[in-house]
Structure 1
Amino acid sequence: MLPISIRTKFHTIEGIEWGNPQGVPILCFHGWLDNANSFAPLAKYFPNYRFLSFDFPGHGKSSHKPENSIYYFAEYALEIVSIAQTLGLEDFILMAHSMGAAISTLVAGTNLLKIQNLVLIEALGPLTNVSESAPDIMAEAIKHVLHPRGKKETYFPNMESAVAIRLRAGDMEKDSASLLMERGIEKTPRGLKPRRDLRLHFNSFFRYTEEQVVSFCERINCPTLLILGDKSNFPIANAYPNRKSAVKNLTEITLSGGHHLHMDHPEKVAHVILQFLNDNDTKENS
């Protein structure tokens, strides 16, 4: 395991690298308020690959946006493309969880990158709204930014209390929450503080419509694996039929586990991913 730091056009991006430096790259992105440690449990199952996991801006150890600015969901697509291009990745595997998977769906649909295989865990595109709700969504976001609803920085007396709060926020096992907190917490004179930028809690200014997301799905050309947890707090197994049918080469697999099943049960998730990659390698070489 090695730390890796790169500079894109707008941010300093921090991450972790495992595996074979000469292997096929796997570029990994985490979910909202998580960090690069999200993929640490999976990494050991991919020793022959160059396994890379990065913190999104405002998360983990990556840089925050400048003062008096805010985060836009679509900008994360820019960061994924920037990171891949900065690393000079060609014909690589894109793997992502939750928010990272939602963004990676859009990135794959732009065809700006040469993605060999796409692995999505617990998301296929972002949340959407009907067109008529756009004015209300923007109004709420503006009010939220101008008058934050009492969101203040949190300080913890010890790591145990930080882990306990993280467990309340999402369905995952204690070891998984502890791993996220290892990278997601920093020491300050006032106590342990989350590294994430508070502005990540602001409401979105807009959301795509379902038709727009389907149009991205239609343009995904690479083999795609969608992994879902049967006990997830975000049940999408029976959702988004139009998105699923729009992806030309989609494999969907549901495993036992919650939203963070890739951390809680990495061995069985890795087995499914490796089988998917091997099957597609066989097809390409036949």
Structure 2
Amino acid sequence: MSATTSHEVRFNLPNIEVAAKVWGPADGVPVIALHGWLDNAATFDLIAARMPGLQIVALDLPGHGLSDHLPAAGYSLWQQAATVLQVADSLGWQRFALLGHSMGAIISGILAGSLPDRIMGVGMIDGLLPVTAEADDAPAQMAKYFAASLQAANKRKPIYDSVEKAIKARLMGANTPISREAVGILVERGLMPDHGGWTWRTDPQLFLPSPLRFTNQHAIAFIEAIRAPACVVLANQGVMAKYPAVVERVWQFEHIRVHAMDGGHHLHLEAQAPEVATLLHSFFSDLS
């Protein structure tokens, strides 16, 4: 299958400018792609190029990649979801599909559950349910957020004297196995020059703990409300695999197709990319 090239676009939204990479023809199946936490639009480089007939608009979500940063406390899942809707409206897409990895998959589930009339279908890679907490945990969770916010003012971004050192730092910080090649793709879009070296474009606020989390009932309610065709690619050695109870719950959603595949959390950027692309291409093509 021949690869297609991408081009860059920017969306001037009411309160922020958002960058994106676009693949495919203007008359293709409309798909907005959402990356994971601390990643960027380049996370879809290896699979988007293998899915002809789709127009894939892969966003740098606010605070990531080449997009602007949001004001303080702006990075809730629902705020990011609202930005996705603003992009869709800018494109003139009343109905569209979603492709999400990790955090992007969680945001996709929230949108699909909230707005069934607008979402044609949703494909998710190693992500579905967010980290949850019980209502009684809310005061302690908010306290963590307040404490971290006060400390954040004194923190400075690291500066690396080479891109290779930034890649090594990202590899060391990975919580699941990922190749140097995959990290290189993400880091290229995630760095900017600073003081003769390189530092992260990422908004430091993204490292703050969430001030408020969904309860388990909240999380399940969004997924149960999805009416569009939906599928999840589960990485057998990914993030979700660390939580067997969550994986078991995912398999219990009868309206979601689940495909388990050997590979790590970023399997769509690894050797499994062709297999992931073939599976998702078939899914999205059936929506047209």
Common fold: TM-score over 0.5 = yes
Worse-superposed segment, 166-175 or 118-127: 166-175
2:177 aligned with 1:174, yes or no? no
Runs of 4+ displaced beyond 2 Å: 68-74, 147-152, 240-246, 274-278
Residue 238 (structure 1) shift:
4.8
What is the distance in 1 between the residues matched to 2:220 and 2:61? 25
User: What residue number does 1:44 align with?
Assistant: 49
2:284 aligned with 1:277, yes or no? yes
What is the distance in 2 between the residues matched to 1:206 and 1:32? 17
Contact 1:23 1:49 in 2 (8 A): yes
Contact 1:2 1:17 in 2 (8 A): yes
Contact 1:184 1:194 in 2 (8 A): yes
Cα 1:233–1:215 change in 2 (3 A) is closer
Worse-superposed segment, 179-188 or 230-239: 230-239
Residue 147 (structure 1) shift:
2.4
What is the distance in 2 between the residues matched to 1:242 and 1:174? 32
Residue 113 (structure 1) shift:
5.5
Residue 222 (structure 1) shift:
0.5
User: What residue number does 1:267 align with?
Assistant: 274
Cα 1:240–1:135 change in 2 (3 A) is farther
Residue 24 (structure 1) shift:
1.0
- Code of the residue aligned with 2:10 in structure 1: it is S
User: What residue number does 2:257 align with?
Assistant: 251
Three-state SS of the structure 1 residue aligned to 2:237 is coil
User: Structure 2, unaligned stretches of length 5 or more?
Assistant: 1-5
User: What residue number does 1:2 align with?
Assistant: 7
User: What residue number does 2:3 align with?
Assistant: none
Cα 1:197–1:138 change in 2 (3 A) is same
What is the distance in 2 between the residues matched to 1:237 and 1:76? 27
Residue 72 (structure 1) shift:
2.7
> After superposition, where does 1:98-177 map in structure 2 within 5 Å?
98-111=102-115, 114-148=118-152, 151-170=155-174, 171-177=177-183
Three-state SS of the structure 2 residue aligned to 1:256 is strand
User: What residue number does 2:218 align with?
Assistant: 212
- Code of the residue aligned with 2:128 in structure 1: it is L
Calculate the aligned-residue CA RMSD, in Å: 2.0
Contact 1:6 1:86 in 2 (8 A): yes
Contact 1:217 1:243 in 2 (8 A): no
User: What residue number does 2:196 align with?
Assistant: 190
What is the distance in 2 between the residues matched to 1:26 and 1:174? 28
Residues 197-253 of structure 1 deviation map (CA, whole Å, 9 limit, x = unaligned): 11111111010000011111121001111001111143156525556545x621001
TM-score (norm. length: structure 1): 0.91
Bigger relative contact order, structure 1 or 2, given CA contacts below 8 A and separation 6+?
Answer: 2
Three-state SS of the structure 2 residue aligned to 1:105 is helix
User: Structure 1, unaligned stretches of length 5 or more?
Assistant: none
- Code of the residue aligned with 2:167 in structure 1: it is V
Three-state SS of the structure 2 residue aligned to 1:6 is strand
What is the distance in 2 between the residues matched to 1:43 and 1:253? 19
Residues 163-184 of structure 1 deviation map (CA, whole Å, 9 limit, x = unaligned): 1111122221111100101100
Residues 103-122 of structure 1 deviation map (CA, whole Å, 9 limit, x = unaligned): 11111111166211100111
What is the distance in 2 between the residues matched to 1:113 and 1:79? 18
